[in-house]
Amino acid sequence: MLRINSPEELEKLRQEILSRSDPSKPCISICAGAGCLASGAGEVIAAFKAEIEKQGLTTDVNTKGTGCPGFCERGPVVIIYPEEICYLRVKPDDVPEIISQTIREKRVVDRLLYVDPTTGEKAIHESDIPFYKNQKRNLISYNSKIDSKSIDDYLAIGGYSALAKVLFKMTAEQVLEEVKKSNLRGRGGGGFPAGNKWEGSRNAPEPIKYVLVNADEGDPGAFMDRALLEGNPHSILEGLTIGAYAIGSHEGYIYVRQEYPLAVVNVNIAIRQAEEYGLLGKNILGSGFDFTVKVHQGAGAFVCGESTALMTALEGRAGEPRPKYIRSNIVGLWGRPTVLNNVETWANVPLIINKGADWFTQFGTEKSKGTKIFSLVGKITNTGLVEVPMGITLRDIIYKIGGGIPGGKKFKAVQTGGPSGGCIPEKLLDLEVGFDELTKAGSMMGSGGMIVMDEDTCMVDVARYFLNFLIDESCGKCTPCREGIRQMLKILTNITKGKGKEGDIELLEELAEVAIDASLCALGKSAPNPLLSTVRYFRDEYEAHVKEKRCPALSCKELIAYHIDPSKCQACMICLKKCPADAIEGGKNRIHVIDQGKCTKCGTCIEVCPARFGAVNKISGQPVPAPIPEDARTLVRKSKEQ
Amino acid sequence: MNKGRVDQIIEKHHGEASSLIQVLLEIQSEHHWLPKEALDRISEKLQVPLTRILYIATFYKAFSLVPKGRHEVHVCVGTACHVRGAPRILDTVQDLTGIKPGETDADLKFSLETVNCLGCCALGPVLEVNGKTYGNMGPSKTAEVLKNYE
């Protein structure tokens, strides 16, 4: 690779890359993000390569393993350029047909297309699918266009032009002004204006400053940062370098959580490539500006997503937060001014520089500008990553993009903001999504996890779940968090086990108040949010658990019993054979009965009972009907009766 | 784990005390646990007291101070998997293997861990054995999967 020494050379190289690629040459891009890989994308990629070779098309067709386009529900996702035909749930067996039909004959394979569940219409292009149509994909749309391991692909879509513009046409102050004007707010959860943070560091007297990428995406159910870092690592590097230029930093770190090995690989490749081209390192593009980036892997601690804890971990110590009397943009890593922003925040920076703050602020609400990527998961038809303008309603995200709740179930709540967020009930579905709006509703934006819950989800259990998560993750440094969470969890666990007492709910609220007021860092301060928001919107569920020992969602194990409806049981022996506890009595033509004494409530019987019988059900808050007498258990089949 | 290999890893990170976590991670990923001899060596080379190394090795979840089983079972208990029934999967694995999260069985066959999100929420509940992901699990399907590992 040749080093690029000026913006002109960069443009020349870009033109060269573009002229090398023939836009009419078919390109098969297969999502190689973690979700699709888990559904078998690796085998599909291998099958494409083998088939292309077998059919002698190696020079005529390109294949690309790309980043995540977002539609994980229907993975593995394959897009065929230049027609942009989108095939979903592709299996290795489909590959020969795709090659012979679509690549050779230019014919669409109908059965692999998206079918609209309501209209039955098929969608050929990505942009025709409702899941994509209702999004505003400023950031994530690049993922499926580039090979995540190729800097040339990134240059072909205009990569590093923002960096060249900044280094040669803008002063650091102008960059700062532009970012401030865009009102870009931190995407990691806090929503702090990035421009103000940068300015603080820039003005700090200490000459050595640092810029950091927070890729310690610990919220369970959130994976948008990983998708960006895996799929388009250069966009983050470019944003980071621009930030470094604006504040006068020459050293940056990317803190990636250990659970994201592919992101670490891809970002390391990206750094090496950028260094070889002279887009990182000494004298970038011949501008005289030096900047180096190192990757630091986390070792599995949720609290390290917190800014000061992350910096402590970077220093090679146990990641414990410190009080923030002085903000870390003044005294941060190794006691020096440090700007820490989340992956998605950095990814927005090149776009703001290239297209201008005015372009950016056209999306969103008055106080929350731009787009935000959410990971839409849980009880939702279209699981995946969705990028939407701020200000869209929760209802639009869940129903228009997410396709509603599967299985004909009823929506109950949507949880946003991870363990620090809260649950938003149906009556607030028309809430506009923005930093301040979500906080007002008792939740928060967080990093952008959006977990949809239906009628089968117990809200007391959800609150217990998050506190149970946090008790492992609390670093233990301050008492209100360490002990407060423990006590709240103890009471909640008792409630879910039917041991709740009168006054427990009030006691929980009191403990929550102390943890919020007295904890050292955001982990403890926000830990009670899931509890408080569920008490606020679903108090009746708490009361049912405490007073009636009943779980309305039929979810809490200690409060439910499994029962086989004798009028529906067809004595098929399936549950009887599968029951791991041998708790089901019966036999051929003998109606099955669950021995409640032996039953471990594992739920196998309800899982395996054929849907057309639907004989197993769950009971809560009432006694289990007495088993039918032995002599009445012989099954009389209706067909034989006649 | 031989001393020479530990030294190589330390060298790679320029023998800086601030890279302690990175050194430990590399040993953990190669060896699947952190033997005492390795920790002693690190302490000596990086000039970091052993107490501090142990503080770090127990603070972060990625590290193990005991040997791991042949098959590492990870049950995802992220929120999306949780609402889709992950607790029942975890119960099933515990019943079948007789071990709890964080434990390894006596004949070193299985090690069980819970993880907070594998990012394949569309497939939840998810079970991972030796890095291979199994999606849309139920209690009986879990039993089928575990049978394949000897």
Helix or strand (DSSP H, E) at A617: strand A616-620
Pair (B125, B85) in one structural domain? yes
Report the residue of A604, A606, A608 to disrupt the B interface, i.e. the one with the largest count of B CBs within 10 Å: A604
Characterize the bridge pairing of strands B71-76 and B110-115: parallel
Supply A536's token pair: 């606020």
The alpha-carbon gap from B119 to the nearest alpha carbon of chain A, in Å, equals 6
Q: Give dist(CA A55, CA A42) in Å, integer.
A: 20
CB atoms B122 and A72 under 8 Å: yes
CB atoms A259 and B118 under 8 Å: yes
- Specify the residue for token string 């592919």: A262
Closest CA to B74 of B146, B2, B147: B146
Q: What is the pLDDT of residue A610?
A: 94
Pair (B80, B142) in one structural domain? yes
CB atoms B24 and A451 under 8 Å: no
Q: Give dist(CA A18, CA A39) in Å, integer.
A: 33
CB atoms B77 and A220 under 8 Å: yes
Domain-by-domain residue ranges, chain A?
21-130, 159-361, 371-457, 460-547, 557-641
Q: Would you list the DSSP string of A140-205?
A: GGGTTTSBTT-HHHHHHTTTTHHHHHHHHH--HHHHHHHHHHHT-B-TTTT--BHHHHHHHHHHSS
Closest CA to B124 of B135, B132, B138: B135
Pair (B33, B76) in one structural domain? no
CA-to-CA separations, A555 to A320, A329, A454, A562, A571, in angstroms, rounded: 35, 45, 12, 11, 26
Q: How many domains does chain B have?
A: 2
Please state which of the four CATH numbers 3.30.70.20, 3.40.50.300, 3.40.630.10, 3.50.50.60 is assigned to the domain occupying A557-641. 3.30.70.20
Q: How many residues does chain B have?
A: 150
Q: What is the pLDDT of residue A639?
A: 61
Averaged pLDDT in 10-residue chunks for chain A of 642 residues: 90 94 88 87 93 90 90 90 92 94 92 89 90 92 91 95 97 96 91 95 95 91 91 96 97 92 93 97 96 93 88 90 87 95 96 96 94 93 93 95 92 91 93 92 87 94 92 88 95 95 94 94 90 95 95 93 93 91 91 93 90 93 90 76 48
CA-to-CA separations, A452 to A400, A429, A462, B83, B135, in angstroms, rounded: 14, 12, 12, 9, 19
Q: Does any domain span residue B65?
A: no
Q: Does any domain span residue B66?
A: no
Helix or strand (DSSP H, E) at A312: helix A307-314
Average pLDDT over residues B18-42: 91
Q: What is the pLDDT of residue A222?
A: 87
Closest CA to B34 of B23, B45, B44: B23
Q: What angle do helix axes A479-496 and A459-473 make, rounded to 10 degrees?
A: 150
Q: What is the pLDDT of residue A177?
A: 96
Which among B25, B96, B117 has CB closest to A297? B25
**Count of A-B CB contacts under 8 Å:** 148
Q: What is A460-547's CATH topology?
A: de novo design (two linked rop proteins) (1.20.1440)
Q: Would you list the DSSP string of B77-97?
A: --HHHHHTTHHHHHHHHHHHH
The alpha-carbon gap from B49 to the nearest alpha carbon of chain A, in Å, equals 12
A159-361: which CATH architecture? 3-Layer(aba) Sandwich (3.40)
pLDDT (tens digit per residue) in B109-123: 999 999 888 878 888
Cβ count within 10 A of residue A500: 22
Q: Does any domain span residue B113?
A: yes
Interface predicted TM-score (ipTM) of this complex, two decimals = 0.89
Pair (B134, B93) in one structural domain? yes
CB atoms A34 and B120 under 8 Å: yes
The alpha-carbon gap from A22 to the nearest alpha carbon of chain B, in Å, equals 35
Helix or strand (DSSP H, E) at A638: helix A638-641
CATH number where B121 lies: 3.40.30.10
CATH code for the domain defined by A21-130: 3.40.30.10
What are the helix (H) ranges across A405-521?
Answer: 435-440, 459-473, 479-496, 504-518
Output phi, psi for B107, to 5 deg.
-95, 20
10 Å CB burial of residue A119 (0-12, 13-18, 19+) is: exposed
Report the residue of B75, B76, B82 to disrupt the A interface, i.e. the one with the largest count of A CBs within 10 Å: B82
Which among A301, A302, A604 has CB closest to B140? A604
Buried b (16+ CB within 10 A) or exposed e, A520-538: bbbbbbbbbbbbbbbbebb
Pair (B77, B54) in one structural domain? no
Q: Does any domain span residue B44?
A: yes
Q: Does any domain span residue B40?
A: yes
Q: Give dist(CA B112, CA B102) in Å, integer.
A: 6
CATH code for the domain defined by A371-457: 3.10.20.600
User: Which residues, numbered 152 to 211 in chain A, qualify as contacts with chain B under a Cβ-Cβ cut-off of 8 Å?
Assistant: none
The alpha-carbon gap from B26 to the nearest alpha carbon of chain A, in Å, equals 10
- The β-bridge partners of B91 are none
Angle at A439 between CA A438 and CA A443, to 5 degrees: 75
Boundary of a domain, candidates B15, B33, B59 = B59
Pair (B40, B80) in one structural domain? no
Q: What is the pLDDT of residue A642?
A: 46
Please name the residues in contact with A529: beta carbons below 8 A apart, sequence gap of 6 or more: A417, A420, A421, A422, A442, A443, A444
Enclosing domain of residue B11? 3-59
Q: Is residue A82 reached through a cis peptide bond, with omega within 30 degrees of 0 on the bond before it?
A: yes
HEC secondary structure over A197-236:
HHHHHHHCCCCCCEEEEEECCCCCCCCHHHHHHHHCHHHH
CA-to-CA separations, B107 to B70, B97, B98, B99, B127, in angstroms, rounded: 9, 11, 12, 12, 22
Supply A80's token pair: 């065929």
Q: Does any domain span residue B141?
A: yes
The alpha-carbon gap from A462 to the nearest alpha carbon of chain B, in Å, equals 8
Q: What is the pLDDT of residue A638?
A: 64
Pair (B80, B51) in one structural domain? no
Instruction: Search chain A and give the residue with CA nearest B22.
Output: A297
Q: Give dist(CA A219, CA A302) in Å, integer.
A: 8
- The β-bridge partners of B32 are none
Pair (B17, B82) in one structural domain? no
Q: Does any domain span residue B109?
A: yes
